[in-house]
Structure 1
């Protein structure tokens, strides 16, 4: 997952999401959460709460009076969205105490608890190094959850209520350890009313984009801005554009650390175009030093026309966004009109993952809470609170949607089967991801050339490939 900043923390691409690739979706450290540490404490991994009696209303066999703790990532979606989930849990298990804790620096907050053997029963995974946790046996596979009946869709299992392909985003070494939640999308955002006011059309190719940028600059508006202090935001559309040109096989080549993968002509051409944005003065002044909130606020104030971001943008802006902003998202312009994938191909960001720690006191309770979170009732409440969609199929069909959500759904509909999932290296290899982000900062700051950027990215991949201490994954 490439990485994205949400609420001040860089997350994987698959979100958030992945940053997924996630995930999507805070500077993810070069070293793993528990790298070099032997975990200790806790019990045999089955949880100290024990199990209750399985029934139609309790298919996982949760002990009905056992406390359960959820650790929330308090970023772009805030603190309040889990209230419906805990209310539904208490309704099913009235004798259980449900606790919600959280923060924005999950690595720092949870590392002592993983090491001490007392992690929460269900946790967001933002800022955590999933490969390191999996390799150390700290997370439970979620097969039992997926095979359980849906909380409020009779006749279907949890897995059968999900959008196609969702669970692949949380899968490592053939097992799903982190369940995606947010059905996000990343792209280029703009105000449709602003474009209409000036008679501008959203460009489908980069030649059209550069021609439009000249007109925008002449009108006294900055064509582009981005979240400069968190370069994962600009890496994301760069990879998106390169994959549209070269095809999804390029992503698999990158993830498999293939020699010269980063020297693909599509990546060099994309880097050249983004370098040109900076060289021609098409970035809002000071963009490379802006935080995510600063850049997004300036964009909402119409000081810049285009900004790359994930679909959490609407909720994160909140009241900062004028009511007449008309937030609209589209796929980044293509390098040319003749490519492996059409302009309409969009990048999906399945992310906002949740995991059940092996050493949790009540892991079955954690799974049950996640089962509730994946119910139609809970998903509808989440969307109303956050203006974000969830990975459950069909639940939002009758909801009243904002202009931003409508544009997202329209873009995905136009894309059809042309959905882009960015490479997983940002989740799998945090140190490599950080090196590529640093190179991208230098590129956009005009400190290096596009050719230099390609070289530095390839060097980061080669270093990872040669390091025998790093567990390798395969796409």
Structure 2
């Protein structure tokens, strides 16, 4: 994983990570979009094709099948795979020079800015094309609910997700069972369990990816969301005055800072990266860690075979919460994009059609232990304990699932500022109230900056 983790992308989320339609409700009028590829337009099979793969938690082995299928369909084409983690540094110069790859797995580039500047193509026509491996069936009819609507800015579809992602708090079910611990449903209960763990064992209650503090921002915001309800998220995403001064956010910040204040974190957590923290956790040095669904794919090799890697929803605050404990961030995630200045955009669109075929999505699910965006995408795929726990959490959430907080997707500068603020909070350089004021300042600056395109939830 790079500094932009997959929970933003789930987009985590995650993910961004995450995941409802990104900006389908955005209001401003912008310049004309790059034209959609003509429906059924012929691919020039002699043209070279380049796919840029984000070589992170999902790796690149999954790309072999779709690239081979493209080569089989167009044997004269020189098909090239390039990979990396620092997309901003690697691809921004190529966008400026007018020679970007033909298809990009975008984890790191500012998707909203690319859409606003029309540097990516309208791929809406793909939805009405015939599915690659299902004759007579349109692509849109092979997709799970919400997927076709995802990656839409100002009514135009620029991004195609490929995973159904989610995130939460991870632990070893075997470890909890051995000690008779029960996963807590509220944050005060979590802190009480942390006290018990610290007192009775030599295991750290928590660790997190301190070098990339957004990993901890995600659960902290979720705890606040559960306490205050959906209206809080709407106010924050819409950059409303004093949204960050909400008592639920300050309360959550107080609760999460307690992890550092009371010595519940694995020593040095604030300064270590995702690989170090996740490996330490998988080796049993800490009980809990926040992460998206790619955790097993990145760190499963470090855990014992009987670890029983398990994900559960983020704890709420109390019995009077306005959103249920089962609430998750998640849904369609990831972003496959076709640059407007690509040398072979029609080829890029065709490779995208292949990638989201049922056959390729089943292959992706099998290799990454991740749910995918097509119907039947996990049919015949034997899920691991970790993947099963995510599926159970998604099923239990039902309609109580939403995309990562939109401000983290729409406003990259504000996202980066929130990471800095979270680091300061966990290093105890600011109080929770000061953190809240700082975040409000960052949000107000974003709202007042005329150069930043605004969206509305």
TM-score bracket, shorter-length normalisation: over 0.9
- Within 5 A, what are the aligned runs for 1:62-101? 62-101=43-82
Give 2:314's aligned residue.
332
**Which of 205, 213, 233 is residue 231 of structure 1 equivalent to?**
213
CA pair 338-102 structure 1, distance change in 2 beyond 3 A: same
The whole-number CA distance in structure 2 between the counterparts of 1:214 and 1:397 is 43
* Contact 2:17 2:165 (8 Å CA) reproduced: no
Distance 1:379 1:60, change over 3 A: farther
Q: Which residue of 1 aligns with 2:192?
A: 211
Q: 1:393 to 1:120 in 2, by over 3 A?
A: same
Map 1:238-257 onto structure 2 (within 5 A).
238-257=220-239
State the 1:94 CA deviation: 2.4
1:435 aligns with 2:429: no
- Residue 303 (str. 1) matches residue 285 (str. 2): yes
Q: Structure 1 residues 442, 293: CA separation in 2 closer, same or farther (over 3 Å shift)?
A: same
Local SS of the residue matching 1:400: coil
* Uncovered stretches (5+) of structure 2, i.e. residues with no partner: 20-32
TM-score by length of 1: 0.89
TM superposition shift of 1:283? 0.8
Structure 1, unaligned runs of 5 or more = 1-5, 26-43
Once the two structures are TM-superposed, the CA of residue 173 in structure 1 deviates from its matched residue by: 1.9
Give the number of equivalent residue pairs: 443
Indicate yes or no: 2:7 matched with 1:10: no
245-254 vs 314-323, which moves further: 245-254
- Cα distance between partner residues in 2 of 1:99 and 1:15: 24
Asked if 2 retains the 8 angstrom alpha-carbon contact of 1:227 and 1:288, the reply is yes
Q: Which runs of 4+ in 1 moved over 6 A?
A: 44-47
Cα distance in 2 for residues equivalent to 1:83 and 1:320? 25
SS in 1 for 2:61: coil
1:351 to 333, 344, 350: 333
Q: Is the 8 A contact 1:182 1:391 kept in 2?
A: yes
Distance 2:403 2:113 in 1: 22
In the alignment, which residue of structure 2 is the partner of 1:373?
A: 355
In the alignment, the residues of structure 1 paired with residue 247 and residue 34 of structure 2 have an alpha-carbon distance, to the nearest angstrom, of: 48
RMSD (Å), alpha carbons: 2.0
TM-score by length of 2: 0.92
Deviation at 1:162, TM superposition (A): 1.7
1:118 is aligned, of 88, 93, 99, to: 99
Cα offset, 1:248, TM superposition:
2.3
Pair 1:146 & 2:127 matched: yes
Question: What secondary structure sits across from 2:53 in the alignment?
Answer: strand
For 1:395 and 1:278, the matched residues in 2 are separated by 41
Q: Is the 8 A contact 2:10 2:330 kept in 1?
A: no
Residues 105 and 336, structure 2, Cα contact 8 Å, conserved in 1:
yes
- Is 1:22–1:350's contact at 8 Å kept on the other side of the alignment? no
Residues 76-106 of structure 1 show CA distances to partners (whole Å, capped at 9, x for unaligned) of: 1222210000111122222222111121111
Q: CA deviation at 1:299?
A: 0.3
Deviation, 1:13, is 4.1
Query: Contact 1:310–1:349 (CA<8 Å) still a contact in 2?
Result: no
Find the aligned partners of 1:158 and 1:9 in 2 and give their Cα distance: 33
Q: 1:355 to 1:340 in 2, by over 3 A?
A: same
SS at match of 1:101: strand
SS at match of 1:465: helix
Deviation at 1:349, TM superposition (A): 5.2
CA spacing shift, 1:468–1:12, aligned 2, 3 Å: farther
